[in-house]
Structure 1
Amino acid sequence: MGDLQCLQDFIRCLDEQSLPRILQICSGVYFQGSVYELSGSEVCLSTGDLVKVIGLNALSVFCEEIATGNSFELSAEYSGQFTLIAEDLPYNTIEEIVGLCPIGVDACGSFSFKSRNKLNVENFTVPAEEPLTLILIEVAEDGTRQARCQLTGQNMVSAEILLPLSLKGEFYECECDRGYSLQEIMTSARLKTRRFRSTHAKNIGGPIIFSPVYEIKAIMHMRKDIVKFPSTLEVDVQDVTEQFEDLVFITPLSIAEVASQPQESFPTMAEILEGPGGNAFFKCNWIQELYKDRHLVLHGLGHTQMVLASTPKGRKEKKYFLISQGYSGRMRRKAREFVSVYELYLASCQCPGLKVSVTRHCEAVEEEGIPALSVGDQLEVLDRTVNSPGTQSIQNLICKRTTEVDDEDDEDEEDDSEELSLPLFMAGHFMEKLTDNKKYNLKDLINKSLPIDIKVVTRDKELETDPLVGLTSLKLEETFLETVVLISLPNKPDWCFELPVRWLQMSLCFTSEPLPWPDSGSPKLYVETVTEVTENFYHEYHKATNKVEEPPPRPPKRKPSTTAVPKKSSKSKSGLPKKGSKVTEQLENLSLGKAKVRRAPAPPLPDDDDDNSMEPPPILPRKSISISDSITQPNTYVRGPIMANSARRTSDSEHDYETVDETFKNTHDSIMHY
């Protein structure tokens, strides 16, 4: 049983490699039955309670200057360096140095010491005050332990010497120039209790000691979930690990920790301590059953090959699935559609000798090297080349085009074929040519080159509902190996589902409940081999596997046209083309099928000196129109009274319109409308 210590002092000297440790609450501010809310959960620390510390998380570090008593706080990620201050107290034996040196035996090469007196070891003499650097600990043939030390003499000549750990003397630690990071100091139980000096002594001052603040991760004896509380609580504790070594604590396990258990631990019962809150990866039915306090049957664990599949884009929402290798549905291959030559190239890399049929006409563009394609052309992908027209490199896909002969009489004539060079940036519409109508199972398709398009034609009879049946098309994209835990619910122990370890964050604990089936043996298991996942899972998977698709190549920039661009015609100050220019000649040659009539020049502007310049122009008398004129020349622009205003606006137009048929004339035609 350990000594009574303040919680903060105990954690400061605790070696994390020794976890877990069992502590007993003895006394302090937290009296019997007190309840406190820490880190969002209620924690009750009563006198006599047992707490099992299972982890530490550094939050910050309080630093105190020994000389002035000033204190300040540093972040746990502080990147500054500190040098160790040598202790003034002497060591009496070499064994004491090995046990109390601030660095472990595996890395004690930086610890140096010196002897106050001269040392005589066998036939070798070590002068007084000569620095010795501890290298490692060795075991002699007779079983005695010895310290191998390095001695650096004059002219930097070094030698190694073996000192027995029982060697007595007066030894002192030497000053060391090595710098330690705050992270190194906090993770070493021996360094945490030492004094240091900052390498930036001007900013901080003299010797300082560190008091780290941790978030303690622990489990209570009579509590299922994990509790977290800071190490600064003013409570006294006692280490009782050896006394209560056989005490059973509820041990929370993550899914990854469950998957690391031996196979002999299964099947067993478990209880969910913390469910996968905020799930963003799964859309299946069993995800709703994973909530806190839910009991589960753990059948075992394994490594399952899975296929990532997706439906094509369309009017319906795109779906994504994880299909386990145990899926027994039958499926047929479906011809893939490609909308660019670049997609043809990607598919041909996975499936050499790819054959497609052109489903839409494509016009030739000579400037960009695009050939003409017709509906029905048969293309076989041969190779990829790089052409260099000019300064820009263009990648092309070499295909063989075959045109079938429709003449049935000429049976001996072979199909015409030619090689085409299709730029990868070229758009098009192609359909894959398939020669078989065979039904495949998933294992057969996995062995082929992926991706491929399929359609499920026969459901998996072992599934209650097969979500893949009824889908018009499904693309099998790629396969991967996933570690899974096989789980079922107690009310339906034979219907199981696979939990992918990488994609679920939840906490479980094993329980001693009996298995929900007779002792004669476990029932036959039916496994849900299809798991619907979200689009977020799809993208996160590709991020985790670093599979980022490269964008298709862009078409080259169009070369400037070789035809001369006509220069802008010069204009006069008034903004009109000058007389004699080409534009003027073209305007003069325009006509509407009539003789050319030159417009009369505009009248000159009145002089400013003219007295009558401010008078309005004279009003001309209205032209008289007789009734006979209106009868002989009817208004052909008016179809009825409703069009009267329109006819008045267009009465001066020179356009010819069809005359109104005699049957549609009425009395309104003989009336002039204004």
Structure 2
Amino acid sequence: MEDLENVVSLQDFITTVAKSSMPRILKIVSGVYLQSSVYDIKGSECCLSTGDLVKIVDKELQSVSCVDVETGRSLELTPNFTGVFKPVVDDRVYDTIEKLKSVLSSGDSTESFWFASHSDFVVGDHMISKRQPIKCVSISASSQASYAKCCTKEGSKCISLKIPISTEGEFYECDSNKLYSLEEVLQSPALLRHSLKCSSIGNGSYSLSPVYETSTIMQMRKDIVKMPSSLEVDVIDITSQCGHINFIRPLSLSEASKCEDQFPIVAEILESVESNHLLKNELFSALQPGQQIVIYKKVHSRKVLVSATKGRNSRFFFIHDVYQGKFRQRPREFMTVYDLCTKLVSGAQLNVVVTQDCESVEDCFPSLCVGDHLKVLHQTKMCVPVQFCSQQIDVLVCTKDTEDEEDKPEEIMLPLCLEGRFVEEVTDNKRYTINNIIQKFKLPCEVKVVSKDPSLATDPLASFASLRLEELVEEPVLLVSFLDNPSACFELPLKWVQISLFLTEKPVPETKELTRFLHVEELTESLYYSLRKELPSNELPPPRPPKREAKPQVDSPSTIQQESPTSVKLKESPPIPPSRNIPCQSYEVHRVSKILAACTVQNRNTYSPLPHIVTTHEDSDSEADYELVV
């Protein structure tokens, strides 16, 4: 049962509590509704249910409402208001000093105030006359009674008195004639309960009501809630009984990773999102609400993205750097000369066999046949004739074995755009760990598992004839374990696994050695393609072939005759020498093309005579003969 005498409105509590005494833990007693109060605070719904606990950590003055006591007219004062206030003296009479003190002071902290009595009364050896002003400085308490430390004047002397607060009489408040600034009034709950006068506002009596914005910590909320003190809820201060309570603050994995100074630490899962669409791992299905884990540290995980095909089905994996299986290199397959060029590694030798005929479209480059053995040397540039000029293109210098083994290999140059099929000749039978492959070979590469990981009951990689190691993936992860098995660690990727948790104060169990038991993880197809989109790719499309020389298009003589503005007839050509075995039609086309070529380099005036052509003019009905000058 709450002490109903201590229940106050949130507004009154925030007004009277000092910032120096924060934080304060409050319990919601009642609100607008009987059970709960729901508010929309700056676009965020905030529910204050009966029984909820909140922690007020700070307050900031937003405005001050000033209301005329007689007319009810109100205005708003800014926090930097410069006017001064004088308390209006209350004419009520109190039968004990204790009751007077409860009105003129606030709680345990007593502010100085002036009072007098309507009748004489005796304090020890002193007679206090009626209407004599007395200043109450403070209240002191002992095991026997509580006293008001006061001072007054006897003639010209100032004497100090200790008056029991239970002293009976007719006591009333006196006017001290002291002026207060707005800040002083707001810091004194007793003055806020007074009516005040202020010449800067008007001649009336005013009551002041400040509105604060509080910084509040609530259960199950990530951020501090900015809450106005004007919310219509009643609260009770339970700081003295529940000051040790820690409020649960949900954190994502990314937010938890920023608390490295607290690691290792025990955390409890509040909410989890199903991860089966990303990782085919039963381990993540155990990350359910209520599950407790130990977060050891934040590390950068190094793993290789792998694709494998069996029949028509493709599967995708992560191979971690702790994988203990052994690999052997398999021959790679290249579809263009450009692919060969991109796989060149300084100091490494690349030998391939042609498995598909490759016919070059340019006369300056050789064609390749099935079975040709090539040794890739280096990349260089070569000038090739393109349209009336030369163009530099990238080529790959190789040596091709000849049919006669005694002859030296032939050095050839292949354009990067040449398509075909080349299979690598592999003579390396060494066994490599996953770390050796990352250091020695350039990814992507083809490998096969020749020795299973002995720590795995079933190695899923050993069933594939070929594995394609595609990319090295490095990403931040949290190294964690379940609380009931603290030595068996696994990785939680900050980006792909979405759970919310909170950090507890439970002790971390002692472990001699941490073991990472996740060596291979199978990925879903959706996660694989999401990774492929984000990973940087160094593979560019192969270059285009050089522009081929454009052959001039020649129209037939009949076409020329139809399109000429004047009816033109070619003169009969001389007989072709027997030694030149060229068809007559080809000879005519050759003559016409020479005429057209000559016309293009001259002025295109229609009335100018054609160069090197003799023209004979006859009647308009006759046909014009044209003859080339030999």
- Normalization by structure 2: what TM-score? 0.52
Task: Choose which of 354, 358, 382 in structure 1 pairs with 2:377.
Answer: 382
Task: Choose which of 459, 473, 476 in structure 1 pairs with 2:466.
Answer: 473
Task: Choose which of 543, 555, 562 in structure 2 pairs with 1:553.
Answer: 543
Change (3 A) 1:527 1:394: farther
Contact 1:41 1:227 in 2 (8 A): no
Match of 1:651 in 2: none
Letter of the structure 2 residue corresponding to residue 357 of structure 1: V
CA distance, structure 1, for counterparts of residue 83 and residue 224 of structure 2: 41
Change (3 A) 1:502 1:548: farther
Match of 1:287 in 2: 284
Contact 2:309 2:315 in 1 (8 A): no
Residue 272 (structure 1) aligned with residue 265 (structure 2): no
Residue 51 (structure 1) aligned with residue 49 (structure 2): no
Q: How far off is 1:379 after superposition?
A: 2.2
CA distance, structure 2, for counterparts of residue 379 and residue 241 of structure 1: 85
Letter of the structure 1 residue corresponding to residue 412 of structure 2: L
Equivalent runs, 1:334-373 vs 2, <5 Å? 334-348=330-344, 352-366=348-362, 369-373=364-368
Change (3 A) 1:351 1:550: farther
Letter of the structure 2 residue corresponding to residue 418 of structure 1: E
Equivalent runs, 1:206-285 vs 2, <5 Å? 219-220=218-219, 234-236=231-233, 246-262=244-260, 265-266=263-264, 268=266, 270-277=267-274, 280-285=277-282
3-state SS, counterpart of residue 344 of structure 1? helix
Task: Choose which of 397, 413, 421 in structure 2 pairs with 1:421.
Answer: 413
Equivalent runs, 1:151-190 vs 2, <5 Å? none
CA distance, structure 2, for counterparts of residue 276 and residue 524 of structure 1: 27
3-state SS, counterpart of residue 45 of structure 1? strand
3-state SS, counterpart of residue 468 of structure 1? helix
CA distance, structure 2, for counterparts of residue 388 and residue 404 of structure 1: 26
Letter of the structure 2 residue corresponding to residue 330 of structure 1: K
Q: How far off is 1:454 after superposition?
A: 0.8
Change (3 A) 1:351 1:35: farther
Contact 2:41 2:227 in 1 (8 A): no
Q: How far off is 1:460 after superposition?
A: 0.9
Contact 2:278 2:526 in 1 (8 A): yes
Deviations 1:371-390 (A, max 9, x none): 21122322233332334544
Higher strand share: 2
Letter of the structure 1 residue corresponding to residue 279 of structure 2: F
Task: Choose which of 280, 297, 300 in structure 2 pairs with 1:301.
Answer: 297
Change (3 A) 1:456 1:49: same
CA distance, structure 1, for counterparts of residue 550 and residue 410 of structure 2: 31
CA distance, structure 1, for counterparts of residue 212 and residue 354 of structure 2: 71
Letter of the structure 2 residue corresponding to residue 427 of structure 1: E
Contact 2:9 2:232 in 1 (8 A): no
Q: What is the count of residue pairs matched by the alignment? A: 405
Q: How far off is 1:439 after superposition?
A: 1.2
Letter of the structure 2 residue corresponding to residue 532 of structure 1: E
Match of 1:499 in 2: 492
Change (3 A) 1:568 1:27: farther
Q: How far off is 1:423 after superposition?
A: 1.6
3-state SS, counterpart of residue 517 of structure 2? strand
Contact 1:379 1:402 in 2 (8 A): yes
3-state SS, counterpart of residue 491 of structure 2? strand
Task: Choose which of 423, 426, 440 in structure 2 pairs with 1:431.
Answer: 423
Task: Choose which of 454, 475, 483 in structure 1 pairs with 2:447.
Answer: 454
Equivalent runs, 1:517-532 vs 2, <5 Å? 525=515, 527-532=517-522
Deviations 1:413-461 (A, max 9, x none): 3x52232222222111111222211111112112113212211121112
CA distance, structure 2, for counterparts of residue 263 and residue 44 of structure 1: 33
Match of 1:445 in 2: 437
Higher mean Cα deviation, 454-463 or 225-234?
225-234
Letter of the structure 2 residue corresponding to residue 276 of structure 1: V
Structure 2: 5+ residue stretches without partners: 1-5, 59-77, 85-210, 563-630
Deviations 1:129-153 (A, max 9, x none): xxxxxxxxxxxxxxxxxxxxxxxxx
CA distance, structure 1, for counterparts of residue 380 and residue 478 of structure 2: 48
Give me the CA root mean square deviation: 5.2
CA distance, structure 2, for counterparts of residue 239 and residue 564 of structure 1: 102
Equivalent runs, 1:617-632 vs 2, <5 Å? none
CA distance, structure 1, for counterparts of residue 276 and residue 40 of structure 2: 27
CA distance, structure 2, for counterparts of residue 236 and residue 552 of structure 1: 71
Contact 1:213 1:231 in 2 (8 A): yes
Q: How far off is 1:247 after superposition?
A: 2.0
CA distance, structure 1, for counterparts of residue 213 and residue 376 of structure 2: 66
Structure 1: 5+ residue stretches without partners: 56-84, 92-210, 408-412, 573-674
Q: How far off is 1:86 after superposition?
A: 13
Change (3 A) 1:438 1:26: same
Q: How far off is 1:255 after superposition?
A: 1.6
Q: How far off is 1:30 after superposition?
A: 4.5
Q: How far off is 1:275 after superposition?
A: 0.9
Q: How far off is 1:313 after superposition?
A: 6.6
Change (3 A) 1:254 1:564: same
CA distance, structure 2, for counterparts of residue 438 and residue 256 of structure 1: 41
CA distance, structure 1, for counterparts of residue 470 and residue 336 of structure 2: 19
Contact 1:351 1:449 in 2 (8 A): no
Change (3 A) 1:535 1:39: farther
Change (3 A) 1:486 1:358: same
Letter of the structure 2 residue corresponding to residue 420 of structure 1: I
Match of 1:403 in 2: 401
3-state SS, counterpart of residue 359 of structure 1? strand
Contact 1:296 1:487 in 2 (8 A): no
Change (3 A) 1:553 1:292: farther
Letter of the structure 2 residue corresponding to residue 360 of structure 1: Q
Contact 1:388 1:394 in 2 (8 A): yes
Identity, % of aligned positions: 33
Contact 1:31 1:46 in 2 (8 A): no
Match of 2:147 in 1: none
Equivalent runs, 1:84-123 vs 2, <5 Å? 89=82
Contact 2:294 2:486 in 1 (8 A): no
Q: How far off is 1:462 after superposition?
A: 1.0
Q: How far off is 1:340 after superposition?
A: 0.7
CA distance, structure 1, for counterparts of residue 475 and residue 251 of structure 2: 19
Q: How far off is 1:534 after superposition?
A: 3.5
Deviations 1:5-43 (A, max 9, x none): 669x99xxx9xxxx9996654654244456899999997
CA distance, structure 2, for counterparts of residue 228 and residue 520 of structure 1: 34
Q: How far off is 1:257 after superposition?
A: 3.5
Change (3 A) 1:563 1:405: same
Change (3 A) 1:406 1:571: closer
Deviations 1:47-89 (A, max 9, x none): 452235899xxxxxxxxxxxxxxxxxxxxxxxxxxxxx99784
CA distance, structure 1, for counterparts of residue 427 and residue 441 of structure 2: 16
